[in-house]
Amino acid sequence: MAERMPGCHVVTAPGVQPRVRSSRNLRIPDLGVTCAADEGGLRTLPDPILLVEILSPGNEAETWENVWTYTTLPSVREILMLRTAGAGAELLRRQTD
């Protein structure tokens, strides 16, 4: 991805602040990608474009709640869900409309 999108970087367990109740709402996906300048010391990932969640049977409801919250962020283009119970993945992609 870095070759195709210079200036972008991956962050492990970044803080993501959704638009819904943003003053009191912080979610932590497993991985995040942003192309915003790395200003260091920030508590949240600015303008994430890709968020990755690892879905296990024990956290399925909480993880899906996070996913729907991530959809409120206009910068998010894709959300990748990886399943631990069996091989599987789901990619949610923002459409132009």
Q: What is the pLDDT of residues 66-84, one digit of tens each?
A: 898 899 899 999 999 998 8
The pTM assigned to this predicted structure is 0.84
Contact 27, 6 (CB under 8 A): no
Task: Tell whether the model's pLDDT for residue 60 goes beyond 50.
Answer: yes
Q: For residues 36 and 58, what is the distance between their CA atoms, to the nearest angstrom? A: 33
Residue 3 included in any domain: no
Q: How deeply is 33 buried, as exposed, middle or buried, from its count of CB atoms within 10 A (0-12, 13-18, 19+)?
A: buried
Residue 64 included in any domain: yes
Residue 72 included in any domain: yes
Residue 1 included in any domain: no
Domain count, the chain: 1
Residue 21: per-residue pLDDT? 66
Residue 67 included in any domain: yes
In this structure, the number of other CB atoms found within 10 A of the CB of residue 67 comes to: 19
Residue 33: per-residue pLDDT? 93
Q: What is the mean pLDDT of the chain?
A: 84
Residue 81 included in any domain: yes
Domain that holds residue 17: 9-28+38-48+57-93
